[in-house]
Structure 1
Amino acid sequence: MRSFLSKLTTIDEKDLTIKEKKIVDYIKNHLKEIVETNMKIERMAQEAGTGYSAIYGLLKKLNIKGFRDFAILLANDAENQEINIAKNDENVVFGYINLIKQNFALIEKRSIFETLNVIRDVEGARVFFCYWENLLAGPAQELSNFFYKEGFNAILLDSDQEILKDRINSSLEKDVFVFFTRYGNSTRLNSFIESIGEMNRKIIYVSGKVASNNITQYLTSIHTLIVDNPDQKAFKGHISQSVPFNYFNDLLIYHYLNSEN
């Protein structure tokens, strides 16, 4: 991912310390100055009113390898802010392209193939596609329908508690659960994932937020998507919240159809 602001959207604000929030606020309000002056970590810490450890702690949470890489990401963000976007319909086009580009940079091919291998390995068992929020019903149904047409025993689920409990309790050894969630880290969702994981079922997790530490051990394959517009200054319009998940679906389907061997 080539953007600090994009990486920032993948974690919950509540997971940031008070000092880390101060750093984020300072960067958002002084991005141009930071880039133009090639600001060093010493000055950034001083200007933000924090220490070095808070900055490095923030970089670690965002999986940014060192201050040099951090500076490169900020430079990309500053460049994006200065792009002179054409008016009218081209604004929406830019918004879509920018969001897809961010996800293109984020999603690893290795993870896509891991997911495909998990699904291909069901051998007559079932693949449950569960959307946690109603806005993701479309993407989940689309992917479920595709694999059903490909001969898989694909079953679409929503977040209904009783039905999920029944499907989990009656699941087979090779059953696979695919969860679509925009917000992630729901206590109830995490509880279901823990139950499925303790039964040694495979879980594919597609989310707009980084998976919480207490469920990561149960996840067979993880896909974290950029679901929010990372830069409100470059694009202030509305983008359908299902766009990143539709892109993920198309990416998965493309590699399924073109790399079966």
Structure 2
Amino acid sequence: MRSFLGKLATLDKNDLTTRETKIAEYIKKNLVMMVETDMKIVTLSHEVGTGYSAIYGLLKKLNIQGYRDFSISLANDADAMTIDVSKDDENVSRSYISMIKHNHSLIDKKMLFDTLNLIKSANRIYVVYWESVLRGAATELTNFFYSEKLPVTLLDSDWDTINQRVADADKEDLFLFYTKYGASTHLAKVIEKIRNKGGKVVFVSGRIPTQQIDKHANLIHTLIIDNVEEGGECAISKSVPFHYFNDLLVYHFQHLKKNN
């Protein structure tokens, strides 16, 4: 992913130290200036009053490989913020466009195709929405799979139903989870049980997964579900990035089908 703001939005703020929080806030407020001046680490260190180690510590938590990669991600963020859309009512349009652009930079395209391969090879597919706000996106994807004559079932987070399906799972089954935050202990245990049964798990979330989920999920897609730009006026529905993810899956599924 080539977006500092995007990565920052997927990290729990409680995971940052006081110094890392100070660095992040400075960057958010001065991002465009940093890009325009090609700010070096020595200048950033001086401006925020911290050593290099605190800056590199923050980058490591965000899976950014070094200061050069960090500079590239800032440039991409600055580019996403320069969309020329008039204010007032069109602030909503600007926020939608910005969110889609940030998610476009965030989503790993190779992992997207790996997900398609799991979908195509599954004997049974379970699309699971963990929060009610994601029911629409999960239903939309389920309906598409059904139209393609794939063996698909839509599930929610109901304890009894989920555990019945997991108990019946085998190594050819695929569970595709949609969740805003993915911090549920119940969810982590469900995913672990699926993997112990030999099933496959694709985890799509608005936050970086917990260590337990990261350990057991086959593939992880982290989406941006919050307005990441400083001073963003509009609160966009958190289901929007999941619909965008659906559209990417559908487009590439149909494209691959057409070429095969």
TM-score after normalising by structure 2: 0.90
Structure 2 gaps, min length 5: none
Whether 1:113 and 2:130 are equivalent positions in the alignment is: no
State the alpha-carbon separation in 1 of the partners of residues 43 and 145 from structure 2: 53
* Equivalent residue number for residue 177 of structure 2: 179
More displaced, 191-200 or 66-75? 66-75
* Equivalent residue number for residue 248 of structure 1: 245
* Amino acid across the alignment from 2:247: D
TM-score after normalising by structure 1: 0.90
Secondary structure of 1:226's match?
Answer: coil
Secondary structure of 2:225's match?
Answer: coil
Secondary structure of 1:259's match?
Answer: helix
* Amino acid across the alignment from 1:241: K
* Equivalent residue number for residue 101 of structure 1: 101
Q: 1:178–1:43: structure 2 CA closer, same or farther, 3 Å change rule?
A: same
State the alpha-carbon separation in 1 of the partners of residues 120 and 33 from structure 2: 50
Contact kept, 8 Å, 1:22 with 1:49, in 2: the verdict is no
**Aligned 1:43-192 pairs, distance under 5 A:** 43-78=43-78, 85-122=85-122, 125-192=123-190
Q: 1:146–1:132: structure 2 CA closer, same or farther, 3 Å change rule?
A: same
State the alpha-carbon separation in 1 of the partners of residues 110 and 77 from structure 2: 26
* Amino acid across the alignment from 1:238: A
Q: What do you get for the CA RMSD once the two structures are aligned?
A: 2.1
* Equivalent residue number for residue 9 of structure 2: 9
Q: 1:70–1:198: structure 2 CA closer, same or farther, 3 Å change rule?
A: same
Q: 1:212 Cα deviation (Å)? A: 2.2
Q: 1:245–1:70: structure 2 CA closer, same or farther, 3 Å change rule?
A: same
> Quick one: percent identity of the two aligned structures?
50
Whether 1:257 and 2:242 are equivalent positions in the alignment is: no
State the alpha-carbon separation in 2 of the partners of residues 201 and 79 from structure 1: 41
Secondary structure of 1:222's match?
Answer: strand
Out of 225, 234, 237, the residue aligned to residue 237 of structure 1 is 234
* Amino acid across the alignment from 2:182: G
Q: How many residues align?
A: 258
Q: 1:100 Cα deviation (Å)? A: 1.0
Q: 1:181 Cα deviation (Å)? A: 0.6
Secondary structure of 1:173's match?
Answer: coil
Contact kept, 8 Å, 2:175 with 2:201, in 1: the verdict is yes
Contact kept, 8 Å, 2:226 with 2:235, in 1: the verdict is no
State the alpha-carbon separation in 2 of the partners of residues 4 and 131 from structure 1: 28
Contact kept, 8 Å, 2:208 with 2:222, in 1: the verdict is yes
State the alpha-carbon separation in 2 of the partners of residues 29 and 100 from structure 1: 21
* Equivalent residue number for residue 228 of structure 1: 226
